[in-house]
């Protein structure tokens, strides 16, 4: 049954607004209640500065890629400086390890040496380089499990010039990602079944080709050398940053002195972390545009922008999760999700687009704002018509994925109930 449109006066600007019950009630005139779930966090001066730098650099980079097309990032002064800073971080980590070994081996009979050695060894262990691996609760599906999907991925991999995908992990996220795991550097793609269920054929091709594009887009932050340096700097910051001091204390002055000391100590690794992110800003964001360009070549501009539009519907996804969890046995989560997508009012779609339009480019975000990415994709319209899987292949892929929906839905609902109880 079609929902009835209703009207109300905006309490901010006094103009009439239309809305449909069940969707966010917002004003297109003054944008009141545009994004009610957006929680504004208090920012430090450093975060405000980096946000401003991100905004200016993001707009500058968008103009560049529109006029020059996105190319794989090359070595620049900024990325060279990132390598130098990463080397410094790795050297400090090595110094921590060597110092801890010296203290534990040669100064263990002194209490200060023993405590210092254990402390530095603990820091060295926490910041050690890690080889990405599959979580114990993740099941890796192979070519025998999903022959049609792997066949289509192999076809795209050959055209893009990337390594073939070795395994696929299906989950309940409204997202997808790709990476290498283990000593053998196997390529694993994580695919959210809710996202896949909401896509048409062109959008599916856009998603798969975009993720494969990450394997060849030259993003240094995803690499081992600089990626581990970022992780180390963040861990140092996290270890030294004080927790919020809530409650009553016997000596508030000493607590205040301790917090000030910790904040001063945390300032240095925090500065290192954000400086490294800033040096990588153009590299990471240009790499994301390059992955979008790969997707445009294989799915066309309509397919990529359709994907980028639907990726913004995470609030719709959460609504379907909540409704399925609160009415067990009545509605399938996937049926609810598709129903919400199909029946979404135009005003709700405009709300999502406006949220994306107002999104700010940030230094500490590897992705350009969605609205910037859509503008870039529009600039590539007509450069290629794209492609799509034939109807038979697309149907085979959907049939292969369907049996896994029930297990994914069960875990989604269990997680929702656990975290909201």
The predicted structure's pLDDT at residue 57: 80
Closest C-alpha to 351, from 397, 314, 325, 324: 314
Rounded CA gap, 74 and 78, in Å? 11
User: What DSSP letter does each residue of 287-341 carry, written as one string?
Assistant: HHHHHHHHHHHHHHHHHHHHHHHHHTTHHHHHHHHHHHHHSTTTS-HHHHHHHHH
pLDDT digits (tens, 9 = 90+) for 211-256: 999 999 888 888 889 988 999 999 889 888 887 655 555 566 677 7
Handedness of CA 362, 366, 370, 371 (dihedral sign): positive
Residue entry with tokens 């994914």:
408
Task: For residues 338-352, give the mean pLDDT.
Answer: 90
The predicted structure's pLDDT at residue 288: 93
Task: For residues 367-378, give the mean pLDDT.
Answer: 91
CB 50 within 8 A of CB 362: yes
CB 104 within 8 A of CB 114: yes
Residues 6+ apart with CB under 8 A from 114: 103, 104, 107, 108
Secondary structure class of 38 (helix, strand, coil): coil
Task: For residues 131-156, give the mean pLDDT.
Answer: 92
pLDDT > 50? residue 1: no
Distances (CA, A) of 72 to 176, 213, 355: 21, 10, 29
List phi, psi (to 5°) of 125.
Answer: -70, -45
The predicted structure's pLDDT at residue 150: 97
Task: For residues 75-79, give the mean pLDDT.
Answer: 90
Rounded CA gap, 289 and 415, in Å? 34
pLDDT digits (tens, 9 = 90+) for 107-125: 888 898 899 999 999 988 8
Task: For residues 9-30, give the mean pLDDT.
Answer: 89
User: What confidence tier does 266 reach under pLDDT thresholds 50, 70, 90?
Assistant: confident
Secondary structure class of 130 (helix, strand, coil): coil
pLDDT digits (tens, 9 = 90+) for 281-325: 889 999 999 999 999 999 999 999 999 999 999 989 999 999 999
The predicted structure's pLDDT at residue 259: 80
Task: For residues 93-104, give the mean pLDDT.
Answer: 92
Q: What is the pTM of this model?
A: 0.86
- Residue 166: how many other CB atoms lie within 10 Å: 18
The bridge status of strand 6-9 relative to strand 16-19 is antiparallel
pLDDT digits (tens, 9 = 90+) for 373-392: 999 999 988 766 666 667 67
Q: What is the percentage of the chain residues whose pLDDT exceeds 70?
A: 89
pLDDT > 60? residue 275: yes
Q: What is the percentage of the chain residues whose pLDDT exceeds 90?
A: 50
The predicted structure's pLDDT at residue 74: 80
> How high does pLDDT run on average in the chain?
87
The predicted structure's pLDDT at residue 247: 52
The predicted structure's pLDDT at residue 246: 56
More confidently predicted of 43 and 59: 59
């Amino acid at each position: 049954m079609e929902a009835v449109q209703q009207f109300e006066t905006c309490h901010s600007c006094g103009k009439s607004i239309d809305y449909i019950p069940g969707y966010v009630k917002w004003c297109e005139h003054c944008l009141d209640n545009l994004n009610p779930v957006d929680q504004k966090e208090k920012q430090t001066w450093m975060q405000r500065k980096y946000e401003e730098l991100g905004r200016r650099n993001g707009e500058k980079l968008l103009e560049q890629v529109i006029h020059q097309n996105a190319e794989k990032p090359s070595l620049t002064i900024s990325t060279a400086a990132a390598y130098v800073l990463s080397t410094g971080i790795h050297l400090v980590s090595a110094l921590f390890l060597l110092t801890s070994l010296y203290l534990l081996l040669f100064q263990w009979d002194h209490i200060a040496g023993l405590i210092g050695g254990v402390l530095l060894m603990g820091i060295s262990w926490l910041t050690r380089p890690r080889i990405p691996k599959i979580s114990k609760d993740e099941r890796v599906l192979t070519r025998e499990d999903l022959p049609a999907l792997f066949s289509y991925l192999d076809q795209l991999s050959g055209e893009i010039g990337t390594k073939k995908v070795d395994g696929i992990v299906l989950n309940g996220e409204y997202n997808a990602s790709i990476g290498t795991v283990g000593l053998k550097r196997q390529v694993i793609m994580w695919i959210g079944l809710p996202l896949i269920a909401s896509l048409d054929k062109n959008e599916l091709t856009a998603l798969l080709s975009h993720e494969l594009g990450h394997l060849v887009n030259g993003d240094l932050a995803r690499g081992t050398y600089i990626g581990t340096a970022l992780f180390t700097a963040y861990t140092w910051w996290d270890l030294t940053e004080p927790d919020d001091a809530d409650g009553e204390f016997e000596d508030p002055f000493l607590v205040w002195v301790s917090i000030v000391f910790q904040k001063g100590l945390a300032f240095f690794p925090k500065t290192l972390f954000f400086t490294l992110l800033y040096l990588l800003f153009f590299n990471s964001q240009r790499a994301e545009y390059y992955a979008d360009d790969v997707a445009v070549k294989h799915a066309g501009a309509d397919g990529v922008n359709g994907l980028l539009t639907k990726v913004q519907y995470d609030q719709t996804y959460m609504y379907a999760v909540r409704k399925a969890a609160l009415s067990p046995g009545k509605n399938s989560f996937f049926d609810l999700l598709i129903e919400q997508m199909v029946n979404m009012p135009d005003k709700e779609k405009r709300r999502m687009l406006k949220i994306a339009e107002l999104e700010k480019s940030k230094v500490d975000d590897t992705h350009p704002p969605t609205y910037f990415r859509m503008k870039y994709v529009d600039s590539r319209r007509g450069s290629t018509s794209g492609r799509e899987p034939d109807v038979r292949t697309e149907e085979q892929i959907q049939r292969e994925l369907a049996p896994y929906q029930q297990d994914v839905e069960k875990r989604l609902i269990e997680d929702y109930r656990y975290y909201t109880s």
